[in-house]
Structure 1
Amino acid sequence: MEVIKGATITDQLPTACYSGMASDWRDKKLYPLLGILLLSIFLYFNLGSNPITFPILWQSHMDFVSANSTHFIIVNPRAPLENQSTFYINGWNSYWLMQESVWAGPSRSRVSKMLKKGAEMGLTVCRTWAFNDGVGPNALQISPGVFNERVFRGLDYVIVEARKHGIRLILSLVNNLSNFGGKAQYVRWAQEAGHNVSSSTDSFFSHPMIKDYYKAYVKAILSRKNSLSGVKYAEEPAIFAWELMNEPRCSSSSSAPILQAWLDEMAAFVKSLDQKHLVTVGLEGFYGLNTTKGLEVNPGEWAASLGSDFIQNSAIENIDFASVHAYPDSWIPHDDMEAKAHFLSRWVDSHISDGDHVLKKPVIFTEVGTLVHADNQGLADKDILLKTMYEKIYESAKKRQAGAGALIWQLLVEGAGEYSDRFSFVAWDNPSTYKLILKQSCRLKSIFAKSIQSQKLNKDPCSGNLP
């Protein structure tokens, strides 16, 4: 067809053709749909900083997870306790999901890809930040109790996408470090409000006003109604657990009473608002000065002086499972690979034993980080340490012990390099590590196949890959 300059497409159609098209549109009542589409496009381009979103009308079914002594179970309310599915975890960290979900377009597509790829590797739990405190452009909490709705909608998106792919989330509520605000930001807020607060960031754990700030934040999160699904966070089964703080330390009080009291108070507060979700601390797993057993397991004398204590902190009544981190490359950097693997093996054994015999609770290694080097030898080293961790969890699962899972720190997708650190990598760009991750997922599934709900939502990643 010859294109006539300045003419519309309808000018170039035969009259009968155009008339027939118009009649079809009227008969099928498609004009209203066209109007909605054009309005949506207009709003997208004119309100790009807060693009229009449409509610999710249907979500796949997902059951809550609970702790039964040293095990996790997927709670089927229609089945008796003895028939509940035991749940052992292979998972990962991507702390950046909320940040990338603030804006529509390519950044949100990276979040969707990460969750989809996680499901394709058989991973079932992802740990991510549900905080960003301060004055940054993507801060969730701008000042105490004041929130950026646009960022909150980003977190809404993360939760909806996680459920879509059969992934459960551990949502961390504040940082011990100053990254993304952390406890230092809370202390600054109290000082700016004229309260008599010491300059130590450890006052976060003891000052009444700062504790009230934190409680108000927690209440806002737990009572949030998802703008996409309409489901309150406290009612959302795609949330696996609330984490009180990422890596809490209170080094000004190395005997740990201040941190212990804070954890006790805040765990009880979370449970008063939400009885359906699990609660954990977010510990690194160091044994404290008052612990007779375990000091020799620590990576160095420094670890006992940080104000945390794995046994004491994890034993709190309202803490449902113990959390541990593992960074042999950082904690014992001058040791060779054999020594690091030996340390990691003993570290894991000790905490699983504590879960079984002392705490009577499940234990998740919620950050497992090993250095990523550019050369092939570095990648081999990474696989050695990750395999050490995976073997321990697999043995624990076979024996129905308390070692309930491990989460890699951390996974990225292409285009998310700004969130990278020395331990971050794109799994599918590292075939040997990818294969190791998938194998762990599949052999855990081979023990507890009926526990993996994601197989109903995605193509089964373990088809033909079970050991």
Structure 2
Amino acid sequence: MKKTIALAAALLMMGVVPAASAAVKDAAKDNPFVAVQKTHFTRNGNPYYIAGANFWYGAYLGANDRPRLLKELDTLKGLGINNLRVLAVSEQTDMKSAVRPATTSAPGQYDERLLAGMDVLLAEMGRRDMTAVIYLNNFWQWSGGMTQYLNWFAGTPALDPNVTKDYDTYMRETARFYTNDKAQAEYRNVIRTFIGRTNTVTGKPYAGDPVIMSWQLANEPRPGNAGVSPQEKAIYVKWIADTAAYIRGLDGNHLVSTGSEGLAGSAQDAALFEQAHASRDVDYLTYHLWPKNWGWIDSKRVDATWSGALEKSSHYLNVHIDYAKKLGKPIVLEEFGMDRDGASFDVKASTTVRDRFYKVVFDVVVGRAERGDPVAGFNFWAWGGTGRAANADYWWKEGNDLMGDPPQEEQGLYSVFDTDRSTLALIRQYADRLHALERKRGQK
């Protein structure tokens, strides 16, 4: 491929434009990695749209329950899902609301069995022509994450907002991760170890595996709480740019993304969100939509709060696509969710409100993609599949089924289960529209 690109450049210098164009097209067709072409994704030279799911525990299933993993992947593939967003590593912690066991028991100490679970996941995704977005850290405590790094290297307690009920303090304190030199050094060790790994199933180096679409800095990184200072904002933007450049230096094949929620994770500062994604080493924008978590809708008073939530959600969906257009990069809505009717966690509860919400989201994302705007698809939160809550209070305990809702949340809060027929039908319908769009644009 390098020879083809060099030939194209040489022909351009000689003024042979038609031949150069053909050479560039041939190079794109030979590239199996997801790439960015202006404001859209390509793969093997063809348009590529994300019809995806969040499947954070995929590597855990690869390590502990391969039969379930295969079943979940087959079901997702049957729904038209072509991309999964998954957690790379977890950090061991004393916090109750974090997943166990952890990939990292202490700095530099890894559970090879769990690392090999990612090998299995990626191998099986490759067999199903799926791609993965892999996030390498977590702002939130449910996988240990940044607060556990600070526990290791600053000696401060790992904060669990499920216990303190104080998310404002949690966000302010956790943002100290960006300026702790020892934490940053260890984080880069993790990045280097993970990206430098060779898959024990396929024999492929991770850095050379086209099943991986993107390395993501973290799940929902943010500069701090709502009162974040200009200096703290600048620290956050620099951390993103520096870390993205570090990843790019290790792996020139894969895309790099932030994992940002959008305005909600940027102190409602549009300029900060744009600055965080302006680096040349950040290939595309990300954003998330959580109307219940943000207080826009009351699940027990849906009729009274729906219209306001709809208005805010539609604006949020659209304005971020406009930011992407301004920056000239693609954007992916990589998280959105709604709970079951009556705020129930029971798998048997209906999903009427969720389905209404999903349709609104899909209509905006897929509709604007069809109009040529730079939105490249979606990942719904999250796939629960065949997992089921084991406890009467719906809180996860070690040994229970893993599902879309991580241990910081009630099991069944936002999970899409394999029995949610109406929701699954919607997902399939809009996934089909995105794949039809790929074919249509690929023919041009």
Corresponding residue for residue 246 of structure 2:
269
1:73 CA displacement: 0.6
Corresponding residue for 1:304?
268
1:370 aligned onto 2:328 = no
Give, in whole Å, the separation in 1 of the partners of 2:264 and 2:113: 40
Q: Aligned residue for 1:22?
A: none
Cα drift, residue 377 of structure 1: 9.0
| Equivalent of residue 432 in structure 1, options 422, 437, 443 | 422
C-alpha contact 1:324 1:366 (8 A) present in aligned 2: yes
**Distance verdict in 2 for CA 1:111–1:173, change over 3 Å:** same
Aligned residue number for residue 61 of structure 2: 100
Q: 1:278 to 1:423 in 2, by over 3 A?
A: farther
CA-CA distance at 1:287 after TM superposition: 6.4
Measured in 2, the distance between the counterparts of 1:308 and 1:247 equals 17
Q: CA deviation at 1:251?
A: 1.8
* CA shift in 2, pair 1:288/1:200, >3 Å: closer
CA apart distance, 1:308? 9.6
Q: Quote how far apart the aligned CAs of 1:118 are.
A: 0.9
The answer (yes or no) to whether the contact 2:337–2:382 under 8 Å persists in 1 is yes
Counterpart contact for 1:204–1:210, Cα < 8 Å: yes
- Opposite residue 206 of structure 2, the aligned amino acid is Y
Q: What SS class does the counterpart of residue 268 from structure 2 fall into? A: helix
Question: d(CA) in 1 for partners of 2:285 and 2:202?
Answer: 31
| 8 Å Cα contact 2:38-2:328 kept in structure 1 | yes
Which stretches of structure 1, 4 residues or longer, exceed 6 Å deviation after superposition?
Answer: none
Q: Distance in 2 between matches of 1:242 and 1:395?
A: 27
Deviations, residues 285-329 of structure 1 (Å, cap 9, x unaligned): 01688xxxxxxxxxxxxx438x99321111122100101000112
Equivalent residue letter for 2:379: L
**Pairing of 1:352-391 with structure 2 (within 5 A):** 352-356=321-325, 358-373=326-341, 374=344, 379-391=351-363
Give the C-alpha shift of residue 119 in structure 1.
0.7
1: CA distance, partners of 2:214 / 2:275: 20
Describe how 1:243-258 pairs up with structure 2 within 5 A. 243-251=216-224, 253-255=228-230, 256-258=233-235
Q: CA deviation at 1:412?
A: 1.3
In the TM superposition, what whole-angstrom CA distance separates every residue of 1:242-292 from its partner, at most 9, and x where no partner exists? 110111123264431111111111000000000110111011101688xxx
Unaligned runs of 5+ in 1: 1-60, 77-83, 194-198, 290-302, 453-467
Paired position in structure 2 for 1:399: 371
Cα separation, 2, equivalents of 1:108 and 1:416: 17
> Is the radius of gyration larger for structure 1 or structure 2?
1
Instruction: Tell which deviates more after alignment, 270-279 or 127-136.
Output: 127-136
Check conservation: 1:250, 1:308, Cα contact below 8 A: no
Conservation of the 8 A alpha-carbon contact between 2:385 and 2:418: no
- The alignment's C-alpha RMSD in Å is 2.6
Q: What is residue 42 of structure 2 aligned with on the other side? A: 73
Structure 1 distance, partners of 2:224, 2:432, is: 41
Q: 1:87 is matched with which residue?
A: 48
Q: Which residue of 2 aligns with 1:134?
A: 92
What amino acid maps onto 1:387 in structure 2? K
Q: Deviations over 1:326-370 (max 9, x none)?
A: 0112211346122222211111110111111x2111010110111
CA deviations 1:64-114 (Å, max 9, x no partner) are 10011110011x3xxxxxxx21112111101111222222xxx22222111
- 1:339 equivalent in alignment to 2:308: yes
**Does 2:122 align with 1:159?**
yes
In the alignment, which of 75, 84, 97 is matched to residue 117 of structure 1?
75
Q: Which moved more, 1:61-70 or 1:381-390?
A: 61-70
Amino acid at match of 1:189: W
Q: 2:149 aligns with which of 181, 186, 189?
A: 186
Picking from 112, 124, 134, the partner of 1:171 is 134
Q: State the aligned residue count.
A: 361
Amino acid at match of 1:333: I
3-state SS in 1 of match to 2:143: coil
Kept in 2, the 8 Å contact 1:100–1:111? The answer is yes
Alpha-carbon distance, 1:393 to partner: 1.7
The percentage of aligned residue pairs carrying the same residue is: 26
1:179 deviation in Å? Answer: 1.3
Which of 291, 315, 319 pairs up with 1:350?
319
* Structure 2 gap segments, 5+ residues each: 1-29, 94-98, 157-171, 299-303, 390-400, 406-410
TM-score (norm 1): 0.72
Q: Distance in 2 between matches of 1:288 and 1:369?
A: 16
CA distance in structure 2 between the aligned counterparts of 1:137 and 1:436, rounded to whole angstroms: 33
**1:285 is the counterpart of 2:262:** yes
Tell me the SS of whatever aligns to 2:293.
helix
Q: Distance in 1 between matches of 2:265 and 2:432?
A: 36
| Equivalent residue, structure 1, for 2:111 | 148
**Whole-angstrom distance in 2 between the partners of 1:188 and 1:377:** 40
1:287 and 1:311 in contact (8 A); partners too: no
TM-score by length of 2: 0.76
